[in-house]
C-alpha cells in the first residue's frame, strides 16, 4: 500500500475514535435529557477511559495474532457499535445501558490507537512529522467536528430522540471506516514472532518511569477533556460566541502539539521539552487559581491541550529509545498507555468533586498547577539515567557507568 494511503487510513481511524474527546458535548446535555445530576454526567467519559485502559492492555496480543490493520479495524468498528448503542438507549432515555456501551467503546478506542501508532511507525520510519502528527491531528479533528456540528444543530434544544439518531448515524460512519480499513489490510501484515513477546511480566524500571511521566503529562488534559464544555463555558462566559464553536477552534492547539513535537524534541531534547511543558502548565494553573480571568483561563486551557498533544507525540520515541525490538514495541507501549485511561478516570472523579461546589475550581487548579510545577522541577534536577531522556552531551560511556552503578 502506498504511504499516502496508509496515512489516510490511519488518520481516518484516529478521527473516528478521537471523537471520544468530544463526549463533553453529550455530557452537557445528559442532565436535561435523562434527568441525572451533573456529577453523574461525567461517568460516560470515565467508563470510556476504563475501557481505554483495557483496550491498550489487550491490544498487543491482538496485533501479534491478527496484525495492526485488523486490530485497528476491529477497534474502530467496536467504537462505532458502541456509539450506535449509546444513541439507541439515549433515544429511550435509558442511562445505565449507555455506560456499558461506552465501556465497550473505550475498549475499541484503545485497540485502534495503539494499532495505528504501530502502523504509522512502520510506514514512516524516517518521517518523524508523520509519526508525530497523525494521532493528535486525528483526535483533534474528530473532536472539533463533533463540537462544530453540535454548534450548528444547537444540541441544547434538541430532544433525546433526535440526539440519539445523530449518534446512530455517527456510529454507522465509524463502522464504515473500520470496514474500509479491513478491506485495505495488507496480507501477512502481522507479527508472527509471538514466542518472544513477554507475557505477564512486571513493568520494567523504564516502563514504570514512563508510566509516571505519562500520568503527570496526561492528568491536566484528561481532566479538561472530561469536562470541556463546562470549563469553557465557565472561563469564557465574558466572551462573545458559542462555546461549542470556541471548542472547535481550540482543538487546533491539540493538533499543533503533534505537529511541533518533532521540532521541540529536536531543539530541547525530550527531557527538557517535558520540563518546559510541565512548568508552563503549572505556572498558568497556579495563576488561574489566584486570578480567574477569562483570558488567563483560555490561555491555560490552550496550553494544556498543546502540551497534551506534544507529550503523546514524544512518548513513543522514548519507548523505542532503549533499542527494544520493533516486534516488542507495541507490548511495552501498551503497558505504559494503561495509565492514560487511569488518568481519565481520575479526571472524571476530580470533575465530579468540582461540580459539587463551584468554589473548588480554584482549589483544583492550584493543586494541579503545583503538581505540574513540582514534577517539572524534579524531572529537571533528579538524574534519570535513561537513554533518550538525558542531554545530548552525556556520553555513551557515562550511561554505561551509571547503568552498572544502578544495577549494583
Mean pLDDT for the chain overall: 85
Instruction: Give the per-residue pLDDT at 392.
Output: 38
Say what the pLDDT of residue 398 is.
37
The pLDDT score that the predictor gives to residue 408 is 30
pLDDT tens digits, 330-345:
888 999 999 999 999 9
pLDDT for 333:
92
> Taking the CA atoms of the chain, what radius of gyration do you get in angstroms?
21
85 grid coordinates? 448503542
The x, y and z cell numbers of residue 379, run together, are 524531572
pLDDT value at position 237?
Answer: 62
> CA 268, CA 279: separation in Å to the nearest integer?
14
The model's pLDDT over 206-240, given as tens digits with 9 standing for 90+, comes to: 888 999 999 999 999 999 999 888 888 777 665 55
Question: For residue 190, is it within any domain?
Answer: no
Sort 233 into a burial class: Cβ within 10 Å, 0-12 / 13-18 / 19+: middle
199 part of a folded domain: no
Q: Is residue 35 part of a domain?
A: yes
Residue 193 lies in a domain: no
Count other C-beta atoms under 10 Å from residue 267's C-beta.
9
End-to-end CA distance of the chain: 49
In the chain, count H helices and then E strands: 15, 0
Provide the pLDDT for residue 264.
93
**Residue 22 within a domain:** yes
- The verdict on residue 163 lying in a domain is yes
Indicate which CATH number applies to the domain containing 64.
Answer: 1.20.1250.20
Q: What whole-number distance in Å separates Cα of residue 302 and Cα of residue 296?
A: 10
pLDDT attached to residue 79:
97
How far apart (Å, rounded) are the C-alpha atoms in residues 294 and 351? Answer: 19
Q: pLDDT-derived band of residue 394, with 50, 70 and 90 as boundaries?
A: very low
Q: How confident is the model at residue 67 (pLDDT cuts 50, 70, 90)?
A: confident
Residue 192 within a domain: no
- Examine the pLDDT at 406 and tell me if it is beyond 60: no
Predicted local distance difference test score (pLDDT) of residue 16: 96
Mean pLDDT, residues 161-175: 95
Across the range 119-128, mean pLDDT stands at 86
Number of folded domains that form the chain: 1
Per 3-state DSSP, what percentage of the chain is helix, strand, and coil (rounded to 5)? 80, 0, 20
Q: How confident is the model at residue 19 (pLDDT cuts 50, 70, 90)?
A: very high
Query: Has residue 217 been placed in a domain?
Result: yes
For the stretch 88-105, pLDDT in tens is 999 999 999 999 999 999
- Range from 4-8, 356-360, 393-397 carrying the lowest mean pLDDT: 393-397
Rounded CA gap, 313 and 318, in Å? 10
Largest CA distance in the chain: 66
Is the separation of the CB atoms in 333 and 319 below 8 Å? yes
pLDDT band at 111 (very low <50, low <70, confident <90, very high): very high
Instruction: Quote the pLDDT of residue 48.
Output: 97
Expressed as residue numbers, the domain containing 403 is 3-185+206-407
Distances (CA, A) of 391 to 199, 229, 270, 272, 374: 33, 40, 9, 8, 20
The tens digit of pLDDT for each residue in 272-313 reads 999 999 999 999 999 998 887 888 888 999 999 999 999 999
Q: Is the pLDDT of residue 407 over 80?
A: no
Reported as a pLDDT band with limits 50, 70 and 90, residue 193 is very low
At residue 403, does pLDDT exceed 90?
no
Task: Return the pLDDT at 92.
Answer: 93
pTM of the model: 0.88
Binned at pLDDT 50, 70 and 90, residue 382 comes out as confident
Amino acid at each position: 500500500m502506498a504511504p499516502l494511503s496508509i496515512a489516510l487510513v490511519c488518520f481516518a481511524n484516529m478521527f473516528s475514535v478521537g471523537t471520544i474527546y468530544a463526549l463533553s458535548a453529550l455530557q452537557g446535555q445528559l442532565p436535561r435529557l435523562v434527568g441525572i445530576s451533573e456529577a453523574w454526567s461525567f461517568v460516560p467519559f470515565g467508563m470510556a477511559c476504563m475501557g481505554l485502559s483495557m483496550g491498550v492492555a489487550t491490544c498487543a496480543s491482538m496485533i501479534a495474532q491478527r496484525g495492526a490493520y485488523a486490530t485497528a479495524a476491529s477497534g474502530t468498528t467496536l467504537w462505532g457499535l458502541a456509539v450506535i448503542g449509546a444513541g439507541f438507549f439515549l433515544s429511550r432515555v435509558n442511562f445505565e445501558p449507555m455506560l456499558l456501551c461506552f465501556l465497550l467503546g473505550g475498549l475499541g478506542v484503545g485497540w485502534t490507537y495503539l494499532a495505528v501508532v504501530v502502523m504509522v511507525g512502520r510506514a514512516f520510519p524516517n518521517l518523524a512529522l508523520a509519526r508525530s502528527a497523525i494521532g493528535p491531528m486525528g483526535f483533534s479533528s474528530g473532536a472539533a467536528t463533533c463540537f462544530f456540528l453540535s454548534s450548528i444543530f444547537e444540541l441544547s434544544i434538541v430532544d433525546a430522540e433526535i440526539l440519539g439518531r445523530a449518534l446512530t448515524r455517527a456510529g454507522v460512519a465509524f463502522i464504515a471506516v473500520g470496514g474500509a480499513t479491513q478491506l485495505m489490510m495488507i496480507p501477512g501484515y502481522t507479527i508472527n514472532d509471538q514466542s518472544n513477546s513477554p507475557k505477564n511480566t512486571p513493568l520494567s524500571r523504564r516502563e514504570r518511569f514512563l508510566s509516571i511521566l505519562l500520568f503527570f503529562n496526561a492528568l491536566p488534559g484528561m481532566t479538561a477533556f472530561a469536562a470541556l464544555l463546562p470549563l469553557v463555558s465557565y472561563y469564557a462566559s465574558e466572551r462573545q460566541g458559542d462555546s461549542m464553536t470556541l471548542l472547535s477552534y481550540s482543538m487546533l492547539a491539540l493538533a499543533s502539539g503533534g505537529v511541533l513535537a518533532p521540532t521541540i524534541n529536536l531543539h530541547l531534547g525530550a527531557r527538557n521539552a517535558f520540563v518546559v511543558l510541565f512548568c508552563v502548565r503549572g505556572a498558568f494553573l497556579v495563576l488561574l487559581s489566584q486570578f480567574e480571568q477569562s483570558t488567563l483561563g483560555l490561555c491555560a486551557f490552550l496550553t494544556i491541550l498543546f502540551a497534551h498533544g506534544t507529550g503523546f507525540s514524544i512518548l513513543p520515541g522514548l519507548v523505542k529509545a532503549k533499542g527494544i525490538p520493533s516486534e516488542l514495541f507495541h507490548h511495552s507501549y501498551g503497558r505504559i498507555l494503561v495509565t492514560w485511561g487511569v488518568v481519565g478516570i481520575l479526571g472524571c472523579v476530580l470533575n465530579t468533586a468540582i461540580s459539587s461546589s463551584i468554589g473548588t475550581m480554584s482549589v483544583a487548579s492550584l493543586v494541579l498547577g503545583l503538581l505540574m510545577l513540582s514534577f517539572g522541577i524534579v524531572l529537571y534536577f533528579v538524574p534519570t539515567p535513561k537513554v533518550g531522556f538525558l542531554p545530548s552531551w552525556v556520553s555513551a560511556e557515562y550511561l554505561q557507568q551509571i547503568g552498572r552503578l544502578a544495577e549494583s
